Homo-oligomer: A and B are copies of this chain.
Amino acid sequence: MKPSLLIVAHGSRRSESNDEVRTLTQRVRSISDNRFTAVTCAFLELASPSIPEGLEQLIHDGASHITVLPYFLAAGRHVVEDIPAEVASIQQTHPAIAIEIAPYLGTSATLPELMVEVGSGSSQAG
């Protein structure tokens, strides 16, 4: 069975920011070419669903293998401690489910190229 992907973002008090993550999740789902059984998102704090809720929903929907993708750019406390702790607690409750944590997004080797692109196409801000 193909893994399900849970994109984990920080979460914001700005609902537009959380909606942005939800829209991006749909986009990832649409371009992932059936590599995943499901693609959903969850938030570490300030927004719903939480990481446990997101994992439980995927398990409820039949996932036996879940990849957690930390939507973070740097290995701060959230990536190093908080996300693994939340995942570990659900893993204990569901020992038969394989839950993996993918490298956080900031490790991607393609990122510097993306930054040159974004930095070169900037628009006047004031």
Contacts and interface: CB of A to CB of B under 8 A. Distances in A.
Interface string A1-26: 00101010110111011101100100
B31 A113 contact: yes
Contacts of A123: 100, 102-103
Interface in A71-107: 71-77, 80, 84, 87-88, 91, 98-103, 105-107
A31 to B, nearest CB: 5
Interface of A: 3, 5, 7, 9-10, 12-14, 16-18, 20-21, 24, 27-28, 31-33, 35-36, 67-69, 71-77, 80, 84, 87-88, 91, 98-103, 105-108, 110-126
